[in-house]
Amino acid sequence: MKSTKGSACPVERGEEEILLRYCAGTLAAEGAAQLEGHVTSCSRCRMWVQEQQMVWRALESWELEPVTADFDAALLARIAREKEARPGWRGWWERAVGAWSGGLEWRVAVPAAALALLLAAGLAVTNPFRGEPVETAVRLEAREIEQAERALEDLEMLRQLEPPEEDKKL
């Protein structure tokens, strides 16, 4: 146990990464059992694992706020508005709505979403969440333009999404 080279201690070997995987529960059962034997007898590793588990628990205590109820409606309304602005997309949308057997819900949902968005824009004047409320509408317009400009950038980025990692694993 004294020699770093032949040591079974990940901390001594500078290979704490295996302890991280042990704590995350992503080690294979056999490796985990073996490491557990070491951890119970090694104070340095035990300390490391305890601290990591405390971090784990601290992160798990982080509660989240619920998602705004009209999130989907707002998104669908934005998509619908984009289609208005860019007729090339309209065909896809109309085919999609027409092809889908539950299309009725969309036909209701999209205008409803648009209405919700209008209401939201109106409410934004007094909405404490947003910083400069009166400018909201103007800024939305500016954002639309910015987003359209970003579409090309997106395409470029998404084209680079070829993942050799997945192939390597097979």
Partner 1 sequence: MMAVATFEHDAELMLRVRDGDAQSFSLLLAKHRGPVIHFLYRMIQNQAVAEELAQEVFLRVYRSRASYEPTAKFTTWLFRIASHVALNHIRDGKHERHQESLDGEGTEGIGRQVASRAPTVEQEMVRESRLAEVRRTVESLPAKQRAAVLMHKYQEMDYAQIAAALECSESAVKSLLFRAYETLRAKLAHLAGRG
**Residue ranges binding Zn ion (CB under 5 A):** 9, 11, 42, 44-45
Residue 9 corresponds to which tokens in the numbers above? 């201690």
Contact letters for partner 1, residues 136-155 (x by CB under 8 A) = -----------x---x--xx
Of 6 and 29, CB closest to partner 1: 29
User: According to the 3-state scheme, what is the secondary structure of the chain?
Assistant: CCCCCCCCCHHHHCCCHHHHHHHHCCCCHHHHHHHHHHHHHCHHHHHHHHHHHHHHHHHHCCCCCCCCCCHHHHHHHHHHHHHHHCHHHHHHHHHHHHHCCCHHHHHHHHHHHHHHHHHHHHHHHHCCCCCCHHHHHHHHHHHHHHHHHHHHHHHHHHHCCCCHHHHHHC
108 binds, among Zn ion, partner 1, none (CB under 5 to 8 A by kind): none
Residue 167 corresponds to which tokens in the numbers above? 């192939």
- Pick one of 29, 59, 69, 170: the residue that binds partner 1 (CB under 8 A): 59
In whole angstroms, the minimum distance from the beta carbon of 49 to Zn ion comes to 9
Contact letters for partner 1, residues 94-133 (x by CB under 8 A) = -xxx-xx-xx--x---------------------xxxx--
Q: Does 46 bind partner 1 (CB under 8 A)?
A: no
Per-position DSSP letters for 124-141, written without gaps between them: GGG-TTSSSGGGHHHHHH
In whole angstroms, the minimum distance from the beta carbon of 145 to partner 1 comes to 14
- Residues in the site for partner 1, rule: CB under 8 A? 16-17, 20, 24, 26, 48, 50-59, 61-65, 67-68, 71-72, 74-75, 78-79, 82, 92-93, 95-97, 99-100, 102-103, 106, 128-131, 147, 151, 154-155, 157-163, 165-166, 168-169
